[in-house]
Chain A
Amino acid sequence: MDMIGQQLMNAVMLGTMYSLVAIGFSLFFGTMNVIHFSHGDISMLGAFIALFFVPIITQYSVLGSVIMFIGAIVIVAVLGIFLSGLVIQPLQSSPQLYTLLATLEAGLVIREAIRLFYPGGKMSQKFPIIFPSGGFSIGGLTIRFDQLFILAIGVAVFVATVLIVNKTSLGMAIRAYSQDKEASMMMGVSESKVIAVTFALGSALAAIAGILHGTYYREVIYTMGLTSGIIGFSAATIGGLGSIWGAIVGGYLFAFIQTSVSAFVPGGSEYRDVIAFGVMILFLLFRPTGILGERQSERV
């Protein structure tokens, strides 16, 4: 019983990481109809930028951690806007394949740049532990404090994102833009502003995902972005591209599948990705718009 509980906890933690990345995919797709494939690598970049702040953390502990979070998020958000101007906006009118490939290659470039130019970038990097260690047990189930912190931050970020998109005027602009580009521009929505905000927001989420990944697993390596990118994309697709809640559901579902395959199928752990991706493909067959995606009809 406590085995199941413990594994459930593992799945929830993993799902939080996936969801944070998946939201970005959904946001970009919903707003601009693009798949931003370097998103996973942006999240890796977030973790590595956070490493620059490590000297501060040891000096000011809590304050330092906060500075690290905010600093990394801001830098990555700016980089996200920059990247969108560089590879995504010029390609908006061309077929999807170009955007997909350009962002994939952009991810490769980020990855290689970290490997080559970050000091010791080929190796895995020690990530500081910023949450209190230790934990408590309830009926054989061990819950760690860092898990609680990460979960709390994750949920807070989910809620904040949904609020920003649904309640603020910026969010209104984003939604109007995603529904009807021309009409929203006539209503006075600034296209460049919407794109910038979307990419800043999505990249900030990726940075948070990267930092939380670092604190949870306590190490980061330059290759981590590719996997999390592909899984984030898959999770967003399962949930329904364009829907933020869908991305969250998809992230947890993907994590749940992976964890249960590892935990309860004998000899299953080497096939966990195979099964997770297989489920995703089946999903696409029977419900191409995902769990929470809207059924769109094409205009002829």
Chain B
Amino acid sequence: MKKMRTLFLPILVILALVISGCAVSPGSGSGNGSKKQTVKIAFIGPLTGGNSRIGLGGRNSARLAVYDANHNKNNKYHYELVEYDDENTTQAGNQVALKASSDPSVIGGIAHYGSVVALATVDTYHKAGFPTMIWGAVHPDITLGNDYKEIFRVPGTQIDQNKQAAEFVTKLGFKKVGVLYDTTDYGRGHFKYFKENLQKLGGQIVAEMPVQPDQQDLNAELTKIQAKKPDLIWFAGLAPEGVRVKKQMDAMNIKTQFMGVSGLVNEEYNSALGAEGSEGSLAIIDGAPTSSLPGGEKFMKDYKARKYSEAPEAYGPFAYVSTDLMIQAIEKVGPDRKKVTNWLDTKVKNIDSMIGKVTFNEHGQNDMPLFTPMVSQDGKWVPYAESEYQTGKRKLPGKK
């Protein structure tokens, strides 16, 4: 009898839990009044951790695209953005990729900022037949290294970016380049293609220094590079490290021209260096600054109106366009993964978007990538073509 009583307690607890659980769950459902069928789209990116600024910027832009779509009266469906955090790690990336792609109610995904994460998950998307737009990862292999029909990418690859970067550098007359790059996939990838393209154009790498991304002291490396007297110090890595390099260059009184990759172009670089420190730094970005994009002004206005607490950052526009394209596809062929994949695969030719025309090639890679060289002027990143450096009013430190 006593034993029966001990059993009684857990059963009571379970009953209570189940009842309360049932009571809670219907309330949490979306009670949206629209009669349209709801279609889910996944957004996957680093929402926490060191890269969360860019991840949150991308997410906000994707939210904006969904918001716009839902306020378009002509649309047949109501869209819902399901957000997943990949923490920019392969393990979490795999988990959320599976979570998104295994949920049949999710039609497509806007995924990943980190290239390694994207490389780790493309198999999962392919297996699930899950149409995926890569919004921020730039490693070429993500689209070009496989035959997966489901993977698309609007931003250009590291190959394209560095081809243009090399051309830009050569055009400005920099011949001898000293290189620092971080040993992540990002830095290494950029360096590989930059070197290839620069050498094709007759440039010369006088020193190459790989550094750990968390290395604080770069004096030894910079001293060594400076001893080779380069025209330009080129750095491949993200903004915090870029800040470190530039700060230490300043401290060492190295006046050589400094140039970075797309990861450098954000507010952090300018705010940490101050207008004086960042003045004249060069970089090249995918697409163009939001303001000079075809639909940039409207995007910025809408973005501000939604009062997101984080800036869109460099890849926000791509996340917006990716989401928008996904929605267009669903509008055209309905919420069916296979049809959406097919549509994206075959029909995206010269489609107008806020970043200009988008065309997917046979790998699902946007064939018309747009790149803009940028220069930091008065504490702001501006397109080089529109800057006072172009007009000759100011002069780059190392320019001949």
Contacts and interface: CB of A to CB of B under 8 A. Distances in A.
Interface of A: 3, 6-7, 10-11, 13-14, 17, 120, 122-126, 135, 142, 144, 146, 213, 216-219, 221, 223-224, 226-228, 258-259, 262-263, 267, 269-270, 272-273
Contacts of B212: 270, 273
B243 interface: yes
A126 B272 contact: yes
Interface in B216-261: 216-217, 219-221, 223-224, 227, 239-240, 243-244, 247-248, 250-253
A259 B216 CA distance: 12
From DSSP, what is the main secondary structure of chain A's interface residues?
A: helix
B216 A144 contact: no
5 contacts: A120-B271, A124-B272, A219-B272, A223-B214, A262-B220
A124 B251 CA distance: 16
A217 B272 contact: no
A273 B217 CA distance: 12
B53 A224 contact: no
Contacts of B53: 122-123
Nearest to B180: A269
B52 interface: yes
Given A3-B227, A221-B240, A223-B214, A216 B251 contact: yes
B159 to A, nearest CB: 23
A153 to B, nearest CB: 16
B185 interface: no
B352 interface: no
Contacts, number: 94
A263 B214 contact: no
B209 interface: yes
B268 A10 contact: no
B183 A122 contact: no
Given A13-B219, A224-B216, A263-B224, A269 B209 contact: yes
Nearest to B53: A122
Contacts of B214: 223, 226-227
A213 B247 CA distance: 12
B216 to A, nearest CB: 6
Contacts of B209: 262, 269
A149 B54 CA distance: 38
B397 interface: no
A13 B219 CA distance: 10
Contacts of B220: 7, 10-11, 14, 258-259, 262-263, 269
A267 B210 contact: yes
B211 A270 contact: yes
Given A3-B223, A123-B268, A14 B217 contact: yes
Given A123-B271, A144-B253, A269-B210, A217 B223 contact: no
Contacts of A219: 243-244, 247, 272
A122 B50 contact: yes
Please give me the 4 A-B residue pairs with the lowest Cβ-Cβ distance, nearest first: A270-B210, A262-B220, A10-B219, A218-B247
A126 B268 CA distance: 10
Contacts of B104: none
A124 B268 contact: yes
Contacts of A217: 216-217, 244, 247-248, 251
B221 A262 contact: yes
B320 to A, nearest CB: 23
B73 to A, nearest CB: 39
Contact of B221 (A13, A122, A144, A269): A269
B350 to A, nearest CB: 39
Nearest to B226: A6
Given A7-B223, A10-B220, 17 more contacts: A3-B227, A7-B220, A10-B217, A11-B220, A14-B217, A123-B239, A124-B243, A126-B271, A126-B272, A213-B216, A216-B251, A217-B251, A218-B247, A228-B216, A267-B208, A269-B221, A270-B210
B193 to A, nearest CB: 19
A225 to B, nearest CB: 10
B246 to A, nearest CB: 9
A142 B273 CA distance: 24
Contacts of B252: 144
B274 interface: yes
B251 A218 contact: yes
B173 to A, nearest CB: 27
Contacts of A17: 217
B250 A124 contact: no
B219 A14 contact: yes
A11 B274 CA distance: 28
A123 B251 contact: no
Nearest to A123: B268
A269 B243 CA distance: 19
B192 to A, nearest CB: 14
Nearest to B219: A10
Contact of A126 (B248, B251, B273): B273
A47 B217 CA distance: 16
Contacts of B239: 123-124
A254 B99 CA distance: 46
A252 to B, nearest CB: 13
Nearest to A127: B247
